[in-house]
Amino acid sequence: MYVPRLKEETRLARRREIAEAALRCFARQGFAATSMADIIAESGLSAGSIYSHYDSKAALVHEAAKEILDDRFRQVVAAIDLDGTATISPGRLFLAVVETMFVASAGPVLLRVWAEMPVDPELAAVGVKNVGFMRARVSELLVPWVGARAGAELTADDPLVGRTADLVIAAVQGLLVRAAFDEPETLAALRQTLARALDTAEV
């Protein structure tokens, strides 16, 4: 019997549904302790449906992390557009990214995945790809500010832009780690301190 292929929109929606189920599992029990059977049960879909989209946990976590990052950066860009700001400084970008991640409770999932990377080469390879994706998006947003500060026409692949992006990413990662044990008041003060430091850092 002929089965029509899923439309592209339906296919993408199904992939997101599976990725979100995987994220819930990773948040509860970590990457290593989560099996494909757990993800299948969490999603409520058939094994055949899952494996038609993803052939491994590593592929799933890559897609899930990319989905988180892409969605958060869309929110950041929307916020920048809404306030009419033509450029965004490293400090403001840091605050915007952190805010969207905390609101969406993405931090605990990312922390679990990062913690398992040193002992899981496959997961570590996925992490490298996702950090590269995040670095590219951060660099794109910082080009106008870094270029204005340097008094030069720069592109997203300029080393100066890349170093600035690396500082923002490191600050985001550090704050997410601190969020696992610090009090909200301490985190709020640390956010502002890091934002000011990013805007005045020499790279």
Encode pLDDT of 157-201 as tens digits. Answer: 999 999 999 999 999 989 988 988 889 899 999 999 999 999 998
Residue-level pLDDT at 84: 54
Question: What value does the mean pLDDT take over residues 110-126?
Answer: 78
Place of tokens 């913690």: 115
Place of tokens 């496959």: 122
Domain map (residue ranges) of the chain:
61-200
Tell which CATH architecture fits domain 61-200. Orthogonal Bundle (1.10)
Residue-level pLDDT at 79: 66
- What pLDDT, in 10s, does the model give residues 42-83? 999 999 988 888 888 777 777 776 666 666 667 777 766 655
pLDDT range class, residue 85, cuts 50, 70, 90: low
Report the chain's terminal Cα–Cα distance, integer Å.
Answer: 62
**CB within 8 Å of 77: residues ≥ 6 apart:** 141
Residue-level pLDDT at 1: 46
Q: What is the mean pLDDT of the chain?
A: 83
Task: Output 5 or 33, whichever has higher pLDDT.
Answer: 33
